[in-house]
Amino acid sequence: MTVTTSIHGMWSTRLAFILAATGSAVGLGNIWRFPYTAGEYGGGAFVLVYLACVATIGIPIMMAEIMLGRRGRQSPINTMRTLVSQGGHSPVWQLLGWMGILSGFLILSFYSVIAGWTLAYVFRAGSGIFDAIDATRAGAIFADLTSDPERLLAWHTIFMVLVVLVVARGVASGLEKAVRYLMPALFFLLLVMVLYAAQAGDFGGAMTYLFAPDFAEFQGKADEAILSAMGQAFFSLSLGMGAIMIYGSYLKQEASIARNTVIVAGMDTLVALLAGLAIFPIVFANGLAPDSGPGLIFQTLPIAFGEMPGGGLFGTLFFVLLVFAAWTSAISLLEPLVAWLVENLGFSRVRASVLGGLTVWLLGIACLLSLNLWADVRVFGKGFLDLFDFVTANVLLPLGGVLIAVFSGWLLARSSSLDELRMGDGLSYRLWRLLIRFVAPVAVSIVLLNAIGVLKLIGLG
């Protein structure tokens, strides 16, 4: 018998799920991470690989995650436990849930630091210091912030408090209301930014840069570029760690998983591309380097806000909405852990959220110190912030994705997925099954193995 509700609450409508899942997907990953990562790998070719990953790996895995979540109706760990025992499979599969908790911790710890930058920029935009600013000055303002551990700590702390507040109240009540208005507003503002960039920046240059793939751009870094494009797809769609799985567990039985997935993935992709079209025209018009790394939007957008009429107000609004986008994503990063603490240790939601938030906050301190006082502390050649980012997006999330794909395609009975996806036994279902059984696991494994050089070792790379 299938359980039809979750003890943690349910989305009130289908729209609420779409908004919440979009809220999880759309965040710093789209507006901060996508443009600078695309910039690091030369633009068009990266974007093309990214889009291919979203279509052939991201969408099928998102459907699978929602499906597993809705069948289990609990935190990812317990959902896997239930599904595994129903099907008589090895309990080892619960590891998937544990890995997800670890990824959630690591991602949120650096995510909150970057969200802190965004919070700080709300006030900078409002103060008028961007007026008629040039690239050098914008760079200096950014460096000022990242080199100051106390300020970073203050913003990181404020952001984590905001996250804990919503998660403690329960996802359905707090989140649904927030996302309903904020997501459309962010979308609208982004459109205005693109229009501005089209008229004031080098829009043609940006279009060519983003949409005319030139694989020579990978310059011998093709392995790394493909790994990063795939990692970006997992990160941006919130896949591979249980966030979408737990949101699926609050989804009503009758909702169509395929349709919801296509909408959420479509919105996420659109927002990323719009962010690219808002940022790169400004990058090129001001002679900035597209590969200037994680500071990219913080060094380019202020120039645009400084030039446009009403830029102070507009800039403030933009960063406010970006904070909200980050907030709704961060909530979904903490939720799987909190649900587990409530289910297994009998914690109240408040206690579980505070405990989870505190742990992430501590880990976040290591991330923010890696930008200044601990700049010399390197693990595998990276500081903590970069390391957590790299390991989660490019290794842990894809690995989680492979496990989800294999479990859904090979272990879960065909009749179960057929029943849960409710799309009939036609072409779409068969296409999904083909992608989830073969394409997604094989493609992700090849990219991962290739990246660690295993294929080279055995002479295949």
**Does residue 112 touch ligand PHE according to CB under 6 A?**
no
Binding positions for ligand PHE, 347-406, rule CB under 6 A = none
CA distance 358 to 183: 28
How far is CA 425 from each of CA 132, 258, 431, rounded to the nearest angstrom?
Answer: 60, 13, 10
**Does residue 166 touch ligand PHE according to CB under 6 A?**
no
Ranked by CB distance to ligand PHE, the top (closest) residue is: 29
**Nearer Cβ to ligand PHE, position 193 or 239?**
239
Q: 3-class DSSP state for residue 443?
A: helix
Q: Shortest distance, CB of residue 283 to ligand PHE, whole angstroms?
A: 21
What is residue 460's DSSP assignment? Answer: -
How far is CA 90 from each of CA 323, 404, 413, 414, 437, rounded to the nearest angstrom?
Answer: 41, 14, 15, 18, 19
**Nearer Cβ to ligand PHE, position 238 or 249?**
238
Q: Under a CB-based contact definition with an 8 Å cutoff, are residues 35 and 105 in contact?
A: no
Q: Shortest distance, CB of residue 265 to ligand PHE, whole angstroms?
A: 11
**Does residue 25 touch ligand PHE according to CB under 6 A?**
yes
The site map against ligand PHE for 280-319 (x = CB under 6 A) is ----------------------------------------
Query: In which residue are the tokens 């080098």 written?
Result: 202
Query: In which residue are the tokens 């979009």 written?
Result: 22
Stretch that binds ligand PHE, among 26-34, 211-219, 292-300, 337-345 (CB under 6 A): 26-34
189: nearest Cα among 306, 34, 50, 31: 31
**Nearer Cβ to ligand PHE, position 24 or 249?**
24
Of these, 6, 24, 292, 394, which contacts ligand PHE (CB under 6 A)?
A: 24
Query: Which token pair is 140?
Result: 């200096």
DSSP string, 322-367: HHHHHHHHHHHHHHHHHHHHHHHH---HHHHHHHHHHHHHHHHHHH
Q: Shortest distance, CB of residue 80 to ligand PHE, whole angstroms?
A: 17
**Nearer Cβ to ligand PHE, position 236 or 353?**
236
- Give the binding-site size for ligand PHE (rule: CB under 6 A): 15
Question: Which residues of the chain form contacts with ligand PHE (CB under 6 A)?
Answer: 24-25, 27-30, 107, 235-236, 238, 241, 243, 329, 332-333
